[in-house]
Amino acid sequence: MPRPPFSLTDNQARVISAGVAQLELDYPIDPQNHRPFVRAFIRLVHSATGRFYSPAVYRRLLGAYAEHRRPSTSTLAAEKAALAAETTPVEPASEAAAPLSVPSALPALIANVVADAMAQSRRVDGGAAAQAAFYADRLRETELELRTERLNAAQLLAALNQCRETAAQQAEEAEKLRGIVSAQSEAITKLTAEVSDLRKFALVAIDDARGETRTWKDRAAYLESQRQLDSRLLETFRQKAYRNGADIPELLKKT
């Protein structure tokens, strides 16, 4: 026959919850030694339920009431065995063998077994109802958290899409600016070439003007020397003519 699922009644859950709060005060967390708290916790569960459980059940209870306490499975098993050995009474051996059950006691025994079974069934039903209510509350909380997370995800997705659109617009603007900068760079290159050509033309023109100026200066100097030579020859011829009896002009006579 399969073992019934583990569950607690509301009263047992309240007792364990209150007891764990006191244990937290009595046994501060010691990472090097969990045994005192584990022994006290197993004793608390036994006093609330009247039973000992497997290490897996104790780990589930610790996860529900003291999640930050994480003893090893071997520690849970050892402390459970030690506490069970302490609390199990040792019956004294009788001098004579126990007599066989009297048939008249059989109905009472059957009635007790049936009553215990019904009480256990009521406890299981109550624990299952409490557990179902607990899981229903957790389901509602999870659904609320899920709706919140979906809303956050939708907001983040909208923000991401907006960032992508902004990035695309900025990329287009950057491409346009890159084209403008490239065109300006080409224009500057052309302007630099034109300025260089103009500079070369100006230098050539200046050199030509300097050469022409030197030519005219040389020509003017030559003409000036020729004029002075002609003036001296003319003066010489005029003096000779005067000596030979030529008439002196009235203008020269006055001077």
H-run or E-run covering 183: helix 106-243
pTM of the entire predicted model:
0.36
Burial of 169 per CB tally in 10 Å (0-12, 13-18, 19+): exposed
pLDDT in tens, the chain (255 residues): 455 567 888 999 999 999 999 999 999 988 788 899 999 999 999 999 999 999 999 999 999 998 889 889 999 999 999 998 887 655 444 433 344 344 445 566 576 667 777 766 666 566 667 778 888 888 888 888 888 899 889 999 999 998 898 899 999 998 899 989 888 988 899 888 988 888 888 899 898 899 989 999 999 999 999 999 988 888 888 888 878 887 777 776 665
Written as one string, the DSSP assignment of 108-156 is: HHHHHHHHHHHHHHHHHHHHHHHHHHHHHHHHHHHHHHHHHHHHHHHHH
